[in-house]
Chain A
Amino acid sequence: MKKFSITGFLDQFVGVQAGKKIAKDVKTGELHEKREALHEEIEEKKAGFDIKKAAKDFWYGKPHGERRLGDLYIGNTGLYKHREWRGVKDTMYYFNCIWLYNYLNMGLDIFKGDEPLAFFKGVWRYRWMGQTYLSVMHWFDRGLEGLRGEALKASAWHYRAMVSETIRQFMRMFAADTKLHLDEKNEYWHKTIAHDETVSGNIFYPWRDVLDDVPLQMIPYFVSCHVNNKTVLNYIDAMQSIGLPADPCPMCQAESGIFVLDDYPDYSPVMVTSNEACDGSVATSIITDWFLDRPLFAMPQPMRFDDPLVQKHCQEEIEQCWKFIEKEYGIPFDFEQYKKYAESFNKLTEFEHEKWDVAANTPYYPINSVAQALYRIYYSQDGDREIWHKTDAHVKKIMDKCVEKKIETFPMTRHRAIAWSCAPLYYSNWCTWAYNCWGINTIINMDSLMFDQMLRTDTYEHALEDLATFNELAPMRSMAVGGHEHIFQLWKYMEQFNCDFVIMYDQLQCKGMQGIKGMFEDEFRKRNIHAIWVPHALPDKRTVSRKEIRSIINDYMITVMREEPLDPSLLDFDDDESW
């Protein structure tokens, strides 16, 4: 992290450094040479200048192969010299309906929150808030780079929904937080359930009308990694500073590090935890229990869940959790509330299936891979909320239009890829880069395919059974550590989504997936499948940088596939210091 200095800041903006350099160049005579070279360059450009083409590029934006998106970056900051010109229509759409609209709505969402002033206190108090939240528009920029038309619109709606739900969650946390209210346990505190981000929001439907449930690490850890990946490094280091070796899964380290640094909001009288992120690595539930020091219910998700006895056990645990909430809050379980929200949630799943159908069988799917993955994992983990329905309605309109009018949303697709295993959180937008640079279009990813379970509500027994299965199909549980029969569902989904390419994430500190790497290698060879192993360390960009990830993909595309990049300016650039 660069230290701020007034002079350094002025240098950036008033060009003092540039002035000094010019003075030096005059002395050494370099300026003359540079001027000559510039003249030559201008003459060359003049000779090749075509006014009609320039007007067309201005109006419609440059065609894919001529964009040179990599030239827009400033050094290794990830900032843009200027944002991309996408043609008049799409640039104005981005400016009005994405940039302005989202800044405005971010403000409005804060004022819709339970206690708007708590936002400022939260920014002041929590690193994950102040360092991350304000740079959110750059998260949009990175994920939506190069997109045009309907793909730009549909993907941006997904981002909007995630921002809105994030604000709802942190505003509730802040309204209830004793640390922002001089240790006072207010009404919000008494009416909020805290739970691990990997405990599904569906579990708490029986109380949704009277209590609110907010996952503890979703915003401080998960969302912050995507928006500004620097924040999380503090938490990883904090956990190691109390003696944890560096090799366990950094997700578990970071989630626990938030407690070590006292950077968690205290917004609930209870805590419901799971064994995910993998307890085998860090024993996160035990650490949470120690630091939070309040009634805690641990509800582990079984790893090998195919055995019917394990299913039964899982159902019993959910029931125990319900009893725990009844007892702690003194509010009885309400099956009618469960039914209402579960049925509403099923509508989201129905639309998800519709989306998969279009993605699998047509080239008209308007959602890019990073929007698809993050939105899906976010809403299915979070549970039923109004914003997801509103977003799906917008996206459905766009998708129907694409299908009806046969709009090819990613026209430069050379390969239809499926991304498998646990993804790098600090570079979830690698797939935007891969499409822009190589035409690798990631159609679907493992995170989207989990939780594929309708929730029956006809009887209590059916409801419980389905909820238990839903819980077992949690992120990273079934297809990352749930046994090879689930992990190898890859082949089935490859066929279903008509993919010819696999991006195989290689989370270097994930003991589950590391154990099965050799079996994958054998299968890829046997089935003659092109697969690129992408090493990473989930939230920790220091282990494998984004630049290294790109260079691994570049190497494969050049040496094995013998292809030319669509945008050579994206092959090699620095972004180590970017958000």
Chain B
Amino acid sequence: MKKFVINLLKILGITYVILFIVFFFDLDGKLLYYLWEPNAVMHYDRMKRKDNTLTPYGKKDNVMPDSEVKAKKIG
């Protein structure tokens, strides 16, 4: 048990130090900037998208007749 706790503390200690190095040298920023972002952009640029400009104008029905809107009471 004691050994386990010591090992656990060691692992936590090492992880903490590694995280501090990542933080201090802005390695998270560098990874995202040089590796993640260019790949993500490539992915979004290549993505097939619906051509929304083909949506017809005025397809929608009148959702609520004006008479009904006026007749409603609130409060």
Contacts and interface: CB of A to CB of B under 8 A. Distances in A.
A12 B35 CA distance: 11
Nearest to B51: A262
B63 A328 contact: yes
Contact of A324 (B30, B42, B53, B64): B64
- Which label, helix, strand, loop or mixed, suits the secondary structure of the B interface? helix
Interface in B29-47: 29-30, 32-44
A289 B62 CA distance: 12
A289 B53 CA distance: 12
Interface residues of B, number: 38
A322 B25 CA distance: 52
A80 B29 contact: yes
B32 A135 contact: yes
B42 A4 contact: yes
A242 B51 CA distance: 11
Contacts, number: 107
Interface string A441-454: 00000000000000
Interface string A1-30: 111100011001000000000000000000
B74 A322 contact: yes
B55 A95 contact: no
A500 interface: no
Q: Which of B28, B37, B57 has the most CB of A within 10 A?
A: B37
Contacts of B37: 1, 131, 135
Contact of A130 (B23, B43, B64, B72): B43
A488 interface: no
B19 interface: yes
B33 to A, nearest CB: 6
A134 B36 contact: yes
B69 interface: yes
Interface in A331-361: 333, 335
B35 A4 contact: yes
B2 interface: no
- Most chain A CB inside 10 Å of its own CB: which residue of B25, B34, B50: B34
Contacts of A579: 33
A79 B40 contact: no
Interface string B8-36: 00000000000110011110111011111
Nearest to A289: B60
A83 interface: yes
Nearest to A125: B47
Which range holds the interface residue count of chain A? 35 or more
A293 B40 contact: no
Interface in A50-108: 77, 79-83, 95, 99-100
B34 A12 contact: yes
B54 to A, nearest CB: 10
For chain A, what secondary structure do more than half of its interface residues adopt (helix, strand, loop), or is it mixed? helix
B67 to A, nearest CB: 13
Nearest to B19: A100
B3 interface: no
Given A99-B23, A127-B44, A131-B40, A294 B60 contact: yes
Nearest to A270: B63
A329 interface: no
Contacts of A127: 40-41, 44
Given A3-B38, A295-B63, A326-B74, A290 B55 contact: yes
Given A4-B35, A99-B23, A327 B30 contact: no
B69 A4 contact: no
Contact of A319 (B25, B55, B74): B74
Contacts of B69: 320, 323-324
A83 B32 contact: no
A259 interface: yes
Interface string A302-331: 000000000000000001101110111000
A223 to B, nearest CB: 17
Contacts of A99: 23
Interface string A290-302: 1101111000000
Nearest to B57: A290
Given A1-B38, A82-B26, A83-B23, A326 B53 contact: no
Contacts of B35: 4, 9
Contacts of A333: 74-75
Nearest to A124: B43
A557 interface: no
A313 B45 CA distance: 45
Contacts of B60: 289, 293-295
A460 interface: yes
Nearest to B28: A137
A80 B75 contact: no
A469 to B, nearest CB: 18
A261 interface: yes
A6 B41 CA distance: 16
Contact of A262 (B34, B41, B52, B68): B52
Contacts of B39: 4
A310 to B, nearest CB: 20
Q: A-B pairs with the 4 shortest C-beta distances? A: A4-B38, A295-B63, A127-B44, A80-B26
10 contacts: A12-B34, A81-B26, A83-B25, A95-B23, A138-B32, A260-B52, A262-B51, A294-B60, A323-B72, A460-B75
